[in-house]
Structure 1
Amino acid sequence: MSKLPNVETSIFTVMSKMAVEYNAINLSQGFPNFPVDERLTQIVSRISAEDVHQYTPMAGYPPLLNKIASLLKSSYQRKVFPETEILVTAGATQAIFTTLLALLKPNDEVIILDPSYDCYEAPILLSNAKPVRVALNDDYTVNWNTIANAFSDKTKMIIINNPHNPTGKILNESDLENLEILLEKHPNVLLLSDEVYEHITFEQKHISTHTREKLLNRCIMISSFGKSFHVTGWKIGYLIAPEYLMKEIKKVHQFLVFSVNSICQVAVSEYLDLVKLEEISPFYQQKRDYFRTLLKNSRFQLMPCEGTYFQVASYANISNENDVDFCKRLITDYGVAAIPISNFYADGKDLKLIRFCFAKDNFTLEEAARRLEKI
């Protein structure tokens, strides 16, 4: 008997498989197709001949833990203790899964803001807890009254994703203030802040929960080196949590993976001395702007993109098809793969919107745009 009876093959897997079958340009799944920084690959090549192939300590390679602490200090002026408040994880998904499995009890409720990434719900269900999915406004702004009304005496946690996948929206100062007010009214509710795109923002920087003093003692923050450094296949991320929560999270982590890929940890630790994180956002902003320029003569209406490497587009002027069928036809008839936004909603809400990933080289974006302009 299935423990996840309503969970089917991920839409990302479906669209990527179709992209391969029809030799389509894959703008669906969120992975870059351009080369990794040579400085990073050179580090990997060198250290692979060194003694870096055995288990690291369970929480992470100690020099990397110290580098992460320094990164948080320089980026957010936050002081954390490497030994007790940082955990290196096998990607952000494992960080999220581990956190939810460790902190939820049966019948706890978790508020999720839709459209939402699909990795949140499964570990909640596997914990015998209940996901409570609350839709954002149709322009993807937050209705805090609606969220407040979703809280109950069983609410244990709320999950936010900032910058937001799939919409590219960023929470503003008012949003963070409303979140703080809401959590002050519910002192036992925890916050899981998924900030994997923290270094990919454009006209305005995202406001990290790392900077919100009122939230720090009840918040678990999730970050991703895979996203920031264009090495998604490495599956390396980290989470920050106060010690009393981290103790519980580490209990689960040690039995899921125990420790994370040692070569990746050593390589990232060295690379952090070389890379300038402030250069990541301008790089992706150039990609975003170029992709939007390429599509300016298409029939798609492009939504605002404030962060992440995803562009949401409306096809309402093109077709009345549901977004899943439209995305399938986009692959079979035009050779471009995208993701339907309805799959990010609990109720399959269809606003005739699809998501493109623009973390691609210029040739790929140009060819994709050429095909999309034919529609």
Structure 2
Amino acid sequence: MAVAYRSDRFLTTDGSSGSVWSPFSGFWSTGDGWLRTHGNYPHHAAALRRGLGVAPNGDATDVAAALGRITAVDAAREIASAGGLAVVVEHERPAVDRALRTTALVEVSRDGTRPSLADLSRPRSPDAPLAGYRVLDLTRVIAGPVCTRTLALLGADVLRIDPPHLPEPEWQHLDTGHGKRTALLDARSPQMEELLSSADAVVLGYRPSSIARLGLDPDALARRHPHLVIAQLSAWGSEHPDRAGFDSLVQAESGISWIESRDGRAPGALPAQALDHSAGYLLAAAVCVALRRRELEGGSWIISTSLRRIAAELLGLPRHDVLAAERTIDGSGHTTRFSVGGRSIVTVGSVIPGFDFAAPRPWGRDQPRW
């Protein structure tokens, strides 16, 4: 599991590994504190520069200079207003985390008001317990893809749909795309409804307000497709539907980054994207349970969690007084090799004994149909 949680570090393409971080993602010193940004996607990097008044071709040095002249709060506000992603690096707030821990780590609820006429029975197989189930994957960036990768590992037919205008970083897909087909489709297309009508489950990983504008929020989906199991992951929780975010940003705002500081002066980070991976596996487990309960009890099932809720759980666990040195992990025996598009790809292997990943497919090359 330690290797799986740090899977990006073991990914190689034709024997080479590269940085998964853009120069526009990281910690930055501001006029009065620290900021954490996420600029891995080109449109987020462009928005970061725009929010700071940096030229469109400006580099990380230009961004650092601009941030040195502004407060962290003002920088986060200006970047967010421009459509970018940045948070102030905060210290933990134990009362906030205690309140979050009074809520379920993963919320699971049944909507039984609209009975389904679908045949919900599926063949049982110890070799592929989710064989016959169709899962529509509307997620990006580690947590959601880890969930659907796990469902594919267990035998589900997983079809990931991406917007045609947002290309995916190759490493990200190769790291989490095992066993799935991937296609490009506008979510407003009538074809999306056709896919949903014959899916068993859909996993949502985009900002809740964006999903709602497309008519794909859990309540709307349950009304139109009362047979569905619907799993929704967000960065900050349903009470913040307009906020986009990633694991690194949630670590920074929740206080984890200061806990992980090596010297008390500059923030640090967990040695793995632990919020993402934890959320992914928890969602996958909840989907499996909900599919079974749907067969026994009927109705739609709605599942939700957030990276911020996962962070609160982590912050409530016992911790050491002294930060341990980061250990080098031996990944030998825990990786697997595939040929994808004529190239040799090494990725972390399955963490579930007795189940092996199928190869990732070239991103976006499949048709949007079951």
Could you state the TM-score of these two structures normalised by the residue count of structure 2? 0.33
Structure number with the higher helix fraction is: 1
Could you state the TM-score of these two structures normalised by the residue count of structure 1? 0.33
